[in-house]
Chains A and B, each alone.
Chain A
Amino acid sequence: MQKLTKEQQDYQNFVKQKRPKPPLLKNILMAFIVGGLICVVGQVIMNFYISRGMSPKEAGAPTSATMVFLGAFLTGLGVYDKIGKRAGAGSIVPITGFANSIVSPAMEFKREGYVFGVAAKMFVVAGPVIVYGMCSAVVIGLIYYILKL
């Protein structure tokens, strides 16, 4: 970041009150309702796998995979972005949103080819998530290993 001049700072202060804020309460409410509902759908799926004889722990992986499928499918149908416009974080934070972040660029960059388009662009958001998820898990694993010695 460059340092702002006095004139620039004055302008920043001047526009601060001009700029409309996002409707925070409404957004929070929508995120809560939609995010909650997506998790309820997840619970329904999880309970289904449990009813088929899996332990709650075993049911986690197929539940995630099913939710990922749903998120990807709704993105393909062009529905997920419409949910996202209203729900914000409510549909971004669940794992369905992770699927959406993979399918939306992959689909859009198809015209740039299947290697540098679809396959490369699908990780625009998912890549960083996996990188930071994996690296933090390794660091935590290492700390756990050392503490255990």
Chain B
Amino acid sequence: MDYIMAFVIGGLICVIGQILMDTTKLTPAHVLVLFVTLGAVLSGLGLYQPLVEIGKAGATIPLTGFGHTLVTGVIEEVNKRGLLGIFTGGLTSAAAGITAAVVFGYLMAVLFNPKSK
């Protein structure tokens, strides 16, 4: 069941991105920025957590999930530490993803070369 819901929710989030790219002038980079922001806003409004409960990885793997992770981290830290949590929370919760992206990104760039087309 997990897998079916992950497939459907994840697929639908990607479809929204596809429609935006094909019908507007937004580039893939714009779509990614928009999705991260959108995920953060929905998370702040308390609307993203229910989606994560239904879709599991289908809601956390798309980049909207990254915005959600940042906001949940901030809110948790604000509860623990108050004002300082606004600044520490985001990176704390997203640490694994961001560090993995930088380290693996660098490693792959060193190891591989782009293929000629």
- Chain A residues packing against B (C-beta within 8 Å): 21-22, 24, 27-28, 31-40, 42-47, 56, 60-65, 67-69, 72-73, 75-78, 88-90, 92-99, 101-104, 106-108, 110, 118-119, 122, 124-126, 128-130, 132-134, 136-138, 140-145, 148
Q: Bin chain B's interface residue count.
A: 35 or more
Contact B31 A92 (CB under 8 A): yes
Task: Pick the contact of A63: B15, B21, B57 (CB < 8 A).
Answer: B57
Task: Pick the contact of B15: A32, A43, A142 (CB < 8 A).
Answer: A32
Contact B60 A63 (CB under 8 A): yes
Contact A106 B109 (CB under 8 A): yes
Q: Closest residue to B36 on the A side, CB-wise? A: A133
In whole angstroms, what is the CA distance A67 to B58 when docked?
Answer: 13
Are A31 and B41 also in contact (CB < 8 A) when A88-B21, A93-B32, A125-B32 are? no
Contact B17 A93 (CB under 8 A): yes
In whole angstroms, what is the CA distance A124 to B65 when docked?
Answer: 21
In whole angstroms, what is the CA distance A22 to B57 when docked?
Answer: 29
Q: Closest residue to B14 on the A side, CB-wise? A: A35
Q: Closest residue to A94 on the B side, CB-wise? A: B61
